[in-house]
Amino acid sequence: MFVSIPSRKKAPFRWATPSLFALLWLAFLWAETRPDAAQDSLLLDWGALSGGALNLQNGWESLRDGTALRLFSALFLHADWAHLLGNLVFLLIFGLPAERTMGPWRFLLLFLLGGAVSNLAAVVSIGSPDSVIIGASGAVSAVIGAYLALFPTAKLGVVLPLGLFLEFVKAPASLLIGIWALLQVVFAYIGPAFGAVAWSAHIAGFLFGVVFALFVRAAIARRLRQRQGY
């Protein structure tokens, strides 16, 4: 549990979240300007492919021939605007406070490793030899998991439709994230676009984020004490 202490020093600049936000935007815009044939080739060349493109039986071979890098490059490819914008919104909501606490380098490691682990989970669970896995959803799920582990008592603002009016209320983040996580489990089996959305990647990313935040919690506490001058 972290306690907020008035800072005696200027808060450090949070560059990881804005940088990732910009990179995701730029990668999508660049891909959209390519001809259709080039876009398809881009997905095949840089997306995480299930069913053999990633040699799961020989991890060293995958590292040596570069196919393992697909687990990372796939994070910066998105199917459409809705796919991208959904990830960007959640990245800002949960990424900025998480980075402020963790520091930019740990946050960047969380995003990249969480995304790679989630893509690997999707490769294993889908199994179809012709599936292309793309998007930063798994990495963003890792950020959400880390946020919950770091701020278990935090509250998030929610706009609820009440009759003809919209009411802004604050709800426990643990409740909202818990509902979100439960939906990921349900959607993994019976959800919308079953087979098109790698729900297993969301679940794996979320669990990775929780474990990662708990693992580095002591280091984060030391960082906060040093920042406060203790």
For 163-202, where are the E strands, in sequence order?
Answer: 165-172
pTM: 0.82
Confidence at residue 125, expressed as pLDDT on a 0 to 100 scale: 79
Residue 186's Cβ-count burial label (10 Å; 0-12, 13-18, 19+) is exposed
Confidence at residue 82, expressed as pLDDT on a 0 to 100 scale: 81
Task: Give per-10-residue mean pLDDT for the chain (230 aa).
Answer: 44 81 94 86 80 53 68 90 86 90 94 94 75 88 94 76 63 82 68 57 92 90 71
Nearest-5° angle of CA 206, CA 210, CA 211?
115
Confidence at residue 7, expressed as pLDDT on a 0 to 100 scale: 45
Task: Tally the C-alpha atoms within 13 A of residue 168's C-alpha that lie toward its C-beta.
Answer: 2
Confidence at residue 10, expressed as pLDDT on a 0 to 100 scale: 54
Confidence at residue 65, expressed as pLDDT on a 0 to 100 scale: 59
